[in-house]
Chains A and B, each alone.
Chain A
């Protein structure tokens, strides 16, 4: 392959990864990952975008690092290793925010350190970056991060417009329309997300696709990489977590069938 061809194929993977992250596997709207920050910080559009960009930086950097070290980290201790990598980047980003964007840091508060346990980041490290070269891992992280930012920005914008009648702090609704304060409060977060998912389901139903009924991960973020994504199912050293998560699902199913029989 000549140099030019390599460049073209690299560009193509970059594009494909970005498209995948932003549209096809959008972490917020399609995969429903990272729900905690999604609901907590989207009281305004600005906060949502701030959180999204912060996560994007961490996601892209940790993906690069995990990919760089993918042949060195023994697979038995890969989860703790990934967590340490992610936690280091989160700490760095937190200090940068404290220094240069103190107001954003204050409004995001505790959710910045909590980026460590965001399903998306560990999920991508496990399911993509640990198996792919640096270049595509970087763009995978970037794409997923931008997708997350878009999701959070959208949710934040809807909540800010309906809940406070503003967007980016500028009044846009006429005075005659009273803002519905509850949308900006905790319960509103659930309602707005419910409506966004319902709209998406409606579109899916119209085009004849099946609606996803289960929450992703069955409550286990660590196994996100394997249970939630398509490139799924790590064949080697299936870790205990996954088996236990499966057992949990089986338990539920068994009970359901027993109920039906009764």
Chain B
């Protein structure tokens, strides 16, 4: 139990998925204009990450390892993620319209989000079991949500600031992200 907690904290804060591993930068920079949309994106990522990690872990153990075709992992995982995202979308639409309304817009954006494939591959490379994989995915998702919501909050404030024209838009966002990365690297001492 303690190990799992440590794993979750480490992936969420210390090895933050966007700020120290640079996975999922596209949505991090693209969908962080408003706190509300950022939070929606964040929760959708947590959702998809956890589900796809669970499935990928089972598929890897039961199919790829059993039939000795581990080398197909990249192809299998990316297809699995794409299929899962579609499936989740259909299931949500049918059974939980309110949740679909909240997350639906973000779901298709996640298939090619490299954080999902990245986490699944990390799970395999570090030889995490089923439970560890899920905890790792949850931690990563929470770390992503934390980072994107904070960035969106900062960007909302920045709209009222005077910024030199050359730094307007992307550059200032990147610098903000850099400062956040410095802040997050401070977490390295807590474990």
Contact = CB atoms under 8 A, between A and B. Distances in A.
Nearest to B89: A240
A22 B151 CA distance: 32
Interface string B14-55: 000001111111111111011011000100000000000000
A190 B30 contact: no
Tell me which of A39, A88, A119, A182 has the highest count of chain B C-beta atoms within 10 A of its own C-beta.
A39
A232 to B, nearest CB: 17
A240 B111 CA distance: 13
Contacts of A247: 105
A198 B27 contact: no
Nearest to B22: A40
B112 A114 contact: no
Tell me if A's interface is mostly helix, strand, loop or mixed: helix
A244 interface: yes
A203 to B, nearest CB: 9
B146 interface: no
Interface residues of B, number: 57
A84 B80 CA distance: 11
A215 interface: yes
A51 interface: no
B34 A255 contact: yes
A189 B22 contact: yes
A212 B169 contact: yes
A117 B114 contact: yes
Contact of A122 (B22, B79, B112, B174): B112
Contacts of A40: 21-23
A186 B181 contact: yes
B166 to A, nearest CB: 4
Given A39-B22, A116-B74, A252-B37, A187 B108 contact: no
Interface in A164-217: 182, 185-191, 193-195, 197-199, 201-202, 205, 211-217
Contact of B117 (A114, A199, A215, A216): A114
Interface residues of A, number: 62
A80 interface: yes
Given A113-B74, A113-B121, A215 B19 contact: no
Interface of A: 32, 35-37, 39-40, 79-80, 83-84, 87-88, 90-91, 94-95, 110, 113-114, 116-119, 122, 182, 185-191, 193-195, 197-199, 201-202, 205, 211-222, 240-241, 244-245, 247-248, 251-252, 255
Given A87-B78, A219-B26, 12 more contacts: A40-B23, A95-B71, A114-B114, A189-B178, A190-B175, A191-B174, A215-B29, A215-B30, A217-B26, A221-B26, A241-B108, A248-B106
Interface of B: 19-31, 33-34, 36-37, 41, 71-75, 78-79, 82, 104-106, 108-109, 111-114, 117-118, 121-122, 125, 165-175, 177-179, 181-182, 185
